[in-house]
Structure 1
Amino acid sequence: MLNSFFKNRKHLAVLIALILLISCSSSDGGSNNDAGTMPSNLTVTTEITGKSTENPNGDGSGNVKFNINATNATSYKISFGDGNVQNFTNGIINYTYKTAGTYSYLVTITALNGSNAISTSVTITLSVSTAPIWSDEFNVNGAPNSSKWGFDIGTGNNGWGNNESQYYTNRRDNVIVENGVLKIITKKEDFQGSNYTSARLLTKGKFSIKYGKIEFRAKLPAGGGTWPALWMLGNNIDAVGWPACGEIDIMEHTGNQLNKILGTLHYSGRSGGNADSSSKIISNATTEFHIYSIEWRADFINFYIDNQLFKNFKNSTTLPFNQNFFLIMNCAMGGGLGGAIDPNFASSTFEIDYVRVYN
């Protein structure tokens, strides 16, 4: 009888232990719930303000409403595709894109519950019609606007050249505004000891910008040896020199590699032949106008041709691309990148329709 009692007590103890184990398991399950239940059924719809048949990319405000829903989601994270990421606790998010122009953005949405997450992506295309903070439309015939543009004069042997063959002037023979475009005319002629002349315009001391969108619409010169460029240098170049000041080449092209457009960054450790460069082949670079632009932020610099991304560069605080830069437009002949000059070259014109800078 006593043995039976102890045996039953033993069975009771086992039963109590099992109950406690189940209870603890249930409690642990609560802890697992703290880690989150896996969200599911993630859906996203977008409403671009002012989108219609007449305005398929919206009304230019850049406003988009995201309606997001997911079963068991307690919060959401959205990467808007323009460098910004935000966290939200509800599924209705209004966001305004600010980069002027028409662009497509890959938006990634993540639904979270604790440490559990699911994601999806949508692509939106919209237009932002913000007025530029600085521009030159080249609508007044004659010399370039002296309040906006200065000139580098000479061969560049004083430190800013690149073994090129031209002499830069500010003569009407080499630079003039006519019929709504700025023309940089490169000519074969004997001038001041050089065999070619051209022009190099810059906004140094007149205008500079830190971050934003910089856009040129241009038709490039033809001919072996031509080297047109639309580019930028850091304001502190006189203090720290090149390449420490940083250089952003929005567009470079050489007549010896027709239709190959370069987007390049120079900085300490990555300059000259070791620069960070990408290229894109386009059609009709020397016979039609194209839009060359960058979107420049603290975390990236994106390069575009006709609003199509072809280079993404990751910016950071360790690089010189977090200060004011001024603009430069020029056409060189020969040099390190321009290469051999066609002996039959006589003259070619680099045409810039406008320059626009957006904040």
Structure 2
Amino acid sequence: MKRYVMFPLILGAAVMVGACGNEEESAELEGWDLVWSDEFEGDELDDSKWRMDTGNGFYDGDEYVPGWGNEELQYYDEDNVTVSDGQLTLTAQEESASDDYGSYDYTSGKILTEGLFSQTYGRFEASIQLPEGQGYWPAFWMMPETDEYGGWAASGEIDIMENRGSETDAVGAAIHFGGVYPENTYWSDEYQFPEGESTTEFNTYAIEWEPEEIRWYVNDELYAETSQWYTENGEFPAPFDQDFHLILNLAVGGWYGGDPDETTEFPGEMNVDYVRVYEQD
């Protein structure tokens, strides 16, 4: 889930392996120790683990960047984040013009662990069901906690999963690095679901992040890996050698998949069964 429009330079090579089916979910993984998780029990978001983002942009110094730097159309609102029946739901909703949201025609939800939990290296995974529809842009991703190597994207970004709602048979993986925008670049790859499987079902999205390699998985199937990145302000394995926090959001519109159209059905929901973080034992 990017914060600015990128100029592509694709580096590295992906490794594709055969398809495998979903297996029974378990918090225990051989070779890994569970160190942080949220199973979304109860009826409200755990504010000891997550905080909510609101609005339609952010400040870069004194400059306000609307649309989160991606021409996104949604206004993030706390009312669009709910927890019930053992899962988190981020809801994208079409809105009528009102004083509450000004000129924004859509609201949605975004949560992150910034300031509450971050980690360097490990396995980061979530079980997520995605919405279908032109203009939906759900993502499970990571940003550096303290920007050790400078502003975006010199300090890196890790996209564990992002999706175009119009494409229910594929998800994307990416990292962003290099220099401070616009001197940044990225590496990316894509997972194609086997016939009969879809993003509209619950699937497990994960990375395994080590000092000199990051690997991407869908339902425990390895489909991409890279060890080629850099930052202008440090030595390899920088910038991916510092604490990153987690982010879940459901954007509407933007450059990744385009804007909603007359075929898009609202509301759209991104449902999350759990998020878990491990360290190698």
Report TM bin, short chain: 0.7 to 0.9
Q: Matches of residues 222-233 of structure 1 in structure 2 within 5 Å?
A: 222-233=132-143
- Residues 1:355 and 2:275 are matched in the alignment: yes
Q: Give the counterpart of 1:138 among 25, 28, 40.
A: 40
- Residues 1:187 and 2:93 are matched in the alignment: yes
1:352 alignment partner AA: V
Aligned to 2:120: 210
Q: Name which of structure 1's ranges 213-222 and 187-196 shifts more when overlaid on structure 2.
A: 187-196
Superposition RMSD on alpha carbons, in Å?
2.5
Could you say what secondary structure the match of 1:240 adopts? coil
**Distance (whole Å) between structure 2 residues aligned to residue 330 and residue 245 of structure 1:** 21
Do the aligned residues in 1 keep the contact of 2:118 with 2:244 (CA within 8 Å)?
Answer: yes
Could you say which structure has the larger radius of gyration?
1
Q: Comparing both chains, which one has the higher relative contact order based on Cα–Cα distances under 8 Å and sequence gaps of 6 or more?
A: 2
Q: Matches of residues 40-119 of structure 1 in structure 2 within 5 Å?
A: 101=29
Do the aligned residues in 2 keep the contact of 1:227 with 1:338 (CA within 8 Å)?
Answer: yes
The structure richer in helix per residue is 1
Q: Matches of residues 291-330 of structure 1 in structure 2 within 5 Å?
A: 291-314=204-227, 317-330=236-249
Aligned to 1:281: 192
**Distance (whole Å) between structure 1 residues aligned to residue 51 and residue 69 of structure 2:** 17
Question: Is the alpha carbon distance of 1:261 and 1:270 closer, same or farther for their aligned partners in structure 2, counting shifts above 3 Å?
Answer: farther
User: Which stretches in structure 1 are left out of the alignment for 5+ residues?
Assistant: 1-59, 61-99, 102-127
Structure 1 residue 260, shift from structure 2 partner: 1.3
Q: When the two structures are aligned, how many residues end up with a matched partner?
A: 233
1:64-105 Cα distance to aligned partner (Å, 9 max, x none): xxxxxxxxxxxxxxxxxxxxxxxxxxxxxxxxxxxx63xxxx
Aligned to 2:168: 258
Do the aligned residues in 2 keep the contact of 1:270 with 1:276 (CA within 8 Å)?
Answer: no
| Sequence identity (%) | 38
**Distance (whole Å) between structure 2 residues aligned to residue 238 and residue 156 of structure 1:** 22
1:14-60 Cα distance to aligned partner (Å, 9 max, x none): xxxxxxxxxxxxxxxxxxxxxxxxxxxxxxxxxxxxxxxxxxxxxx9
1:101-139 Cα distance to aligned partner (Å, 9 max, x none): 3xxxxxxxxxxxxxxxxxxxxxxxxxx175410000001
**Distance (whole Å) between structure 1 residues aligned to residue 146 and residue 108 of structure 2:** 26
Do the aligned residues in 2 keep the contact of 1:227 with 1:333 (CA within 8 Å)?
Answer: yes
Structure 1 residue 355, shift from structure 2 partner: 0.3
Runs (4+) of structure 1 exceeding 6 A deviation are: 270-273
Aligned to 1:170: 78
1:148 alignment partner AA: K
Q: Name which of structure 1's ranges 288-297 and 271-280 shifts more when overlaid on structure 2.
A: 271-280
Structure 1 residue 236, shift from structure 2 partner: 2.0
Aligned to 1:198: 108
**Distance (whole Å) between structure 2 residues aligned to residue 216 and residue 146 of structure 1:** 18
2:259 alignment partner AA: A
Aligned to 1:124: none
Aligned to 1:23: none
Do the aligned residues in 2 keep the contact of 1:253 with 1:259 (CA within 8 Å)?
Answer: no
1:188 alignment partner AA: E
Do the aligned residues in 1 keep the contact of 2:88 with 2:273 (CA within 8 Å)?
Answer: yes
2:187 alignment partner AA: D
Structure 1 residue 342, shift from structure 2 partner: 2.2
Do the aligned residues in 2 keep the contact of 1:332 with 1:338 (CA within 8 Å)?
Answer: no
Aligned to 1:150: 51
User: Which stretches in structure 2 are left out of the alignment for 5+ residues?
Assistant: 1-25, 59-63, 230-235
Do the aligned residues in 2 keep the contact of 1:235 with 1:245 (CA within 8 Å)?
Answer: no
**Distance (whole Å) between structure 2 residues aligned to residue 148 and residue 306 of structure 1:** 25
**Distance (whole Å) between structure 2 residues aligned to residue 271 and residue 251 of structure 1:** 22
